[in-house]
Amino acid sequence: MKTRNSRTTIRLLTIGSLLLALPIAAQAHRAWILPAATIHSSEDPWVTVDAAISNDIFHTDYRPMQLNGIKAIGPDGMAVELQNGHTGKYRSTFDINLTQRGTYKIFTASNGMTARWLDEDGQRQSWPPRGAQPNEADFAANVPADAQDLVVTRSSRRQETFITAGVPSDEVLEPEGQGFEMEPITHPNDLYAGETAEFRFLIDGEPAVGAEIIVLAGGMRYRNHQDEISVTTNADGIAEITWPDAGMYWLEASYEDDRAAPPATSRRGGYVATFEVMPE
């Protein structure tokens, strides 16, 4: 007869074996912005939002996302205040008062150039310095135009989630035409289990053909397999995603090509979003 301690030991060994068997990508650090709920119908709705970087989706186990880069805009396109902000050991949290009817967007966004090359001594050089933000006004003064093996990349990253009070609206869904973006065809607060949603991905306002997309459901800490959904955008930049179950989902899209505007020689995009899928 096995004792409780022996059963616990066996379980721990089994869990350890499963973790070792997972792909390396399964243990990568992933950033996410997670509303407590994305659809609200009360007269004076508030929503609490968590923001973190973790190994398991929506499980705070690595470090918080900093609040100074997170913004929110309301249905009228105006900025909305993040209230009661707090950053702890593993996550940041804040509240938003949904004072207008319609759809809100919470997001982070960045866009800039980086360069790498070999100097006259054959040593690898890069710009901007590690930890610094790229300032394109300083590019020409710091990057030799005739440098050996010069590679200049224009990168854009965007992270979003959407919240609706009352009836969904479309104003905050309009793309800006710069960098790597998602233009919803299906409203992001109108998603249901068993149904297929369509999202168009754009690079500098044009369809991002062949963008690679991965979708993961929350609760992966309690599954032996990630059960990821993998799709690629078509010739119109559109990805179709069929939601297997209700719950919170994390989507990551990536794109790269060599059609950047000079002085860049390539462009690269990363996009992350959190969606709530309702029961059918």
| Amino acid, single-letter form, for residue 181 | E
Half-sphere exposure in the Cβ direction for 181 (13 Å, CA): 18
Same domain, residue pair 107 and 121: no
9 belongs to a structural domain = no
Looking at 98, 125, 151, which one is the last position of a domain? Answer: 151
State yes or no: cis peptide before 134, omega within 30 of 0.
Answer: no
Asked which of 151, 175, 201 is the last residue of a domain, the reply is 151
Residue with tokens 């992001």: 188
181 plus 252 within the same structural domain: yes
Sign of dihedral through CA atoms 50, 96, 162, 66? negative
Q: Of the residues 151, 172, 203, which one is the last residue of a structural domain?
A: 151
User: Does 231 lie in the same domain as 106?
Assistant: yes
Q: Are 176 and 183 in contact (CB under 8 A)?
A: no
The CATH number for 168's domain is 2.60.40.1930
Please tell me the pTM assigned to this model: 0.87
Domain containing residue 250: 28-111+152-277
Tens-digit pLDDT profile for the chain (280 aa)?
444 444 444 444 443 443 333 333 344 789 999 999 999 999 999 999 999 999 999 999 999 999 999 999 999 999 999 999 999 999 999 999 999 999 999 999 999 999 999 998 999 999 998 878 888 888 989 999 889 999 999 999 999 999 999 999 999 999 999 999 999 999 999 999 999 999 999 999 999 999 999 999 999 889 998 899 999 999 999 999 999 999 999 999 999 999 999 999 999 999 999 999 999 9
Assigned domain for 14 exists = no
